[in-house]
Amino acid sequence: MSAVESNDLSGETRDFLTTPHKLFIDGQWTDPVGGGTIDVFDPATESKIATVACADGDDIDRAVSAARAAFSGEWSKINSHDRTELIWRLADELERHLPFVAELEVLDNGMPRSMAQLAISSFGCRFLRYYAGWATKIHGDTIPVSPQGAPNGASLSYTRREPVGVVGAITPWNVPLTMAISKLGPALAAGCTIVLKPSEETPLTALVLAEMSRKVGFPDGVINILPGYGATAGAALAEHDDVNKIAFTGSTGVGKKILQAASGNLKKVTLELGGKSPVIVFPDADLERVIPGAARAAFFLNGQNCMAGTRLFVHEDVYEQVIDGVAEMAGSFRLGSGLLPDTDLGPLISAAQRDRVLAYIESGKATDAELVCGGEAVEGKGYFVRPTVFGHTSMEMKIAREEIFGPVLCVQAFGDTDTDSGLDALVAEANKSIYGLSASVWTRDISLAHRMAARIDSGQVSINCHAAVDPAIPFGGNKQSGWGREFGKEGLEPYLKTKATTVMF
């Protein structure tokens, strides 16, 4: 893979990388109590690119105290219009620095630059603005009641929607800045304060966001951002008695640990977890759309995407055409540093992730599945794995059952769809997963598409596209893909609590 020289980077990026980075607590850049650091690596070159401070439990304590003080103090006095203004200004500031932030995201995570720019502008900035708008639209109801049999008009009952309080946010490495923003937007709109722990693999852009939040005028303590390891800083945040809610995105295994840790003070929890999403192609589908759509569904972000369409179910009449087309596209993707203009797929995040993905590929090779393309790492520096397609898989195989979080697609044929029992069998196979995050159905038969959408057990279903995402579309998983929903109006709810007040005249 061709490397990128450091002097190809912008001055802003070089300055950021050579500056030591502390923890952002109570509006100040602060040294960690234990003096720990995290080395940050470019997964495309395996080179160390930065060192940041590493929080432990004591630092989490300080940040939670700051967030509590801000929640009860200055932040509680700021009205909803001013909250809108501040969140909007953060979006503007992010947009102003888009090339720099995107470059940093590419270096830290490995994704192609175009993807980083799109994620930040089309999703991150819009997401902040979407939730900025919600801040002024949060209100309760008045309710016609007759407590204790009181006559009409003798009482008044109303609800207030109040912020839940201090939010602990814990995020993964696959789209680092977007994940941080997906927690900040609704938390701030609701009037909460927040302590955010980004992934130890990709802490850089969250730190940029911290500095931007200070610049645009958020009061001290409203936003606290502390890189740290999951087992220490993450666990301390999840079990903290003064945190009111945890917003977690990450693996299902860690999600279960978060639930246990949160039980001490029964804090509210939302979980955005893993997936193994089905993509279902009926024989009448427009294959000109299906083939690139299915290839992107599986290999977008190298499969390091919770919604990745990694189980492709294709009707037997078009199976060969689809699998050949997807494999051809997979083979044509250019792997390289995300900083290079023609890169389609970057590296995996780390050596550990590459080795994990390769172990799954080896397990697939040991089955009756047909290895159609890929199946190996790329020689040389960087954690690159070739997009891999296995044909004739079945849900009994580990590669088809477990979330790999890498570029591995399992393809399975189905037959009869003209009878109820045929469709039942297909639906059962698509739903045969512990996950239920996303799915897509590809057909020209709109009635069939909606019937399938209703029967698939997942938080979202896309028709003739995969993983349609917008700040206004509720997002989240069924089964072991999570608890609760983010995005849209529903995404605001977990950051609010209801208080009912009743007066007797």
Judged by phi (left if over 0) then psi (alpha if -120 to 50, else beta), residue 428 lies in alpha
Q: Least distance from C-beta 229 to ligand NAD, angstroms?
A: 6
Report which residue's Cβ sits closest to ligand NAD.
Answer: 230
Give 160 or 356: the residue with its C-beta nearer to ligand NAD.
Answer: 356
Give 126 or 257: the residue with its C-beta nearer to ligand NAD.
Answer: 257
Among 110, 275, 382, 491, binds ligand NAD (CB under 6 A): 275
Q: Is residue 485 close enough to count as binding ligand NAD by CB under 6 A?
A: no
Residue with tokens 């979006």: 91
Distance CA 322, CA 392 (A): 13
Among 347, 482, 484, 488, binds ligand NAD (CB under 6 A): 482
Q: Which stretch binds ligand NAD (CB under 6 A): 231-239, 291-299, 408-416, 449-457?
A: 231-239
Distance CA 260, CA 238 (A): 9
Distance CA 482, CA 485 (A): 8
Q: Which stretch binds ligand NAD (CB under 6 A): 188-196, 251-259, 294-302, 406-414?
A: 251-259
Distance CA 107, CA 46 (A): 10
Q: Which of 426, 413, 480 is nearest to 452 (CA)?
A: 426
Q: Is residue 235 close enough to count as binding ligand NAD by CB under 6 A?
A: yes
Backbone angles phi, psi at 5, to 5 degrees: -70, 150
Residues 6 or more apart in contact with residue 15 via CB below 8 angstroms: none
Among 80, 251, 363, 478, binds ligand NAD (CB under 6 A): 251
Q: Which listed residue (272, 403, 429, 486) is catalytic? A: 272
Strand 28-30, strand 23-25: pairing: antiparallel
Q: Is residue 278 close enough to count as binding ligand NAD by CB under 6 A?
A: no
Q: Least distance from C-beta 403 to ligand NAD, angstroms?
A: 6
- Is 306 marked active-site? yes
Q: Is residue 301 close enough to count as binding ligand NAD by CB under 6 A?
A: no
Q: Which listed residue (54, 125, 192, 306) is catalytic? A: 306
Which value, in Å, is the radius of gyration of the alpha carbons in the chain?
24
Q: Is residue 230 close enough to count as binding ligand NAD by CB under 6 A?
A: yes
Residues 6 or more apart in contact with residue 19 via CB below 8 angstroms: none
Footprint (CB under 6 A) of ligand NAD, residues 441-470: none
Burial class from Cβ neighbours inside 10 Å (0-12, 13-18, 19+) for residue 12 reads middle
Residue with tokens 């937007």: 185
Footprint (CB under 6 A) of ligand NAD, residues 180-209: 197, 199-200
Q: Is residue 405 close enough to count as binding ligand NAD by CB under 6 A?
A: yes
Give 170 or 298: the residue with its C-beta nearer to ligand NAD.
Answer: 170
Q: Least distance from C-beta 68 to ligand NAD, angstroms?
A: 20
Give 66 or 254: the residue with its C-beta nearer to ligand NAD.
Answer: 254
Q: Is residue 306 close enough to count as binding ligand NAD by CB under 6 A?
A: yes
Burial class from Cβ neighbours inside 10 Å (0-12, 13-18, 19+) for residue 209 reads buried
Distance CA 328, CA 437 (A): 27
Residue with tokens 């690596």: 41
Among 23, 90, 196, 258, binds ligand NAD (CB under 6 A): 258
Which chain residues interact with ligand NAD by CB under 6 A?
170-174, 197, 199-200, 229-231, 234-235, 238, 249-251, 254, 257-258, 272-275, 306, 403, 405, 437, 477, 482
Which are the catalytic amino acids?
272, 306
